[in-house]
Amino acid sequence: AMASQTVITVQPQFSAAQQPGEWQTGLLDCCSDCGVCLCGMFCFLCLDCQVAGDMDECCLCGSSVAMRTLYRTRYNIPGSILGDFCSVFWCTPCSLCQLKRDINRRKALGIF
C-alpha cells in the first residue's frame, strides 16, 4: 500500500506585502557623507571592495550593475535594470558612493 501524498497546487505567499523602500540618499548627495565621497574619488577601488565585502561578494564587483540591482531589489527600492545601468555607466563614482552611503545608514539603523 502506498502512503497518500499531498500535492501542492498553490505556492506559499507572504502574509504581508513588502513595503516599497527608497535610497537613503540621492545619487548626487555627495556632501551628506564626505568620507565616502573622498574615498570614492581618490581610492575608488578601495570603496569598490568595501561595498562588495559588505554584500558578501567578490572584490571589485561593488560598482557593477548587477550589485546595484541586487541591492535595490533586496531592499525593495523602486527602479529598473536600465536605470541601474545608466547610473553605473554615466555616474560610476556617484553610484558607488550612493550604494556605500545606503549600506552605512542601514547598518546604523540596524536594517542591513
Residue ranges per structural domain of the chain: 34-109
Q: CA 112, CA 90: separation in Å to the nearest integer?
A: 27
Nearest to 80 by CA among 92, 69, 94: 69
Task: Report d(CA 92, CA 85) in Å as an integer.
Answer: 10
Kindly give the parts of the chain with pLDDT less than 50. 15
Alpha-carbon gap, residue 63 to 45, rounded angstroms: 9
Q: Residue 83, class by beta-carbon neighbours within 10 Å (0-12 exposed, 13-18 middle, 19+ buried)?
A: middle
pLDDT digits (tens, 9 = 90+) for 78-105: 999 999 999 999 999 999 999 999 999 9
Length of the chain: 112
Looking at residue 48, what is its pLDDT? 97
| pTM metric for this prediction | 0.82
